[in-house]
């Protein structure tokens, strides 16, 4: 397991860059990254910073109502950002096309992935973000 500590929000871009380098150097073959953490832990904020570190120029926002947003990195890689908080069950996720994204061309970044755990690819990377206090966050990265 790898750990990144974000001392406060001003260090989020450094942490995201560290995460990007870790992915490139250790987990380059991973195309599905799931994000766990309580409400307000910073999952969306971290994903936004991660997208910036990859050169995404679009406005990255939470896809709570759209379910998935698509972005393009500076290198042309497609990113699919999911927020499954409002999805009730696996059937609803399947109807929304989740499996097509998971096994398609691109990298899936998934918040609230619990409902689709049964269909996650075997090489999924698990990221858990914990709010240590009002300012500090701990990001744990491990294989699923």
Question: 56-106, pLDDT tens digit by residue?
Answer: 988 887 776 678 899 999 999 999 999 999 999 999 999 888 888 999 899
Q: How many domains does the chain have?
A: 1
b/e per residue, 27-46, with b = 16+ CB within 10 A? beebbbbbbbbeeebbbbbb
CATH number of the domain that residue 120 is part of: 3.40.50.300
**Which structural domain, as residue segments, surrounds residue 59?**
2-143
| Sign of the C-alpha dihedral computed for residues 30, 135, 13 and 11 taken in this order | negative
Q: Name the pLDDT band for 14 (thresholds 50, 70, 90).
A: very high
Which tokens belong to 96? Answer: 């929304």
Distance, CA of 15 to CA of 47 (rounded, Å): 11
């Amino acid at each position: 397991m790898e750990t990144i500590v974000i001392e406060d929000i001003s260090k989020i871009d450094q942490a995201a860059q560290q995460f990007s380098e870790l992915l490139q150097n250790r987990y380059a073959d991973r195309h599905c990254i799931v994000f766990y953490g309580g409400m307000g832990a910073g999952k969306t904020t971290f994903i936004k910073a991660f997208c910036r570190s990859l050169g995404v120029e679009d406005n990255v926002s939470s896809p709570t109502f759209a379910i998935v947003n698509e972005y393009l990195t500076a290198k042309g890689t497609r990113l699919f950002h999911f927020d499954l908080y409002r999805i009730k069950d696996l059937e609803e996720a399947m109807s929304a096309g989740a499996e097509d994204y998971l096994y398609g061309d691109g990298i899936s970044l998934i918040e609230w992935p619990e409902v689709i755990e049964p269909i996650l690819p075997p090489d999924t990377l698990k990221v858990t973000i914990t709010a240590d206090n009002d300012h500090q966050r701990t990001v744990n990265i491990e294989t699923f």
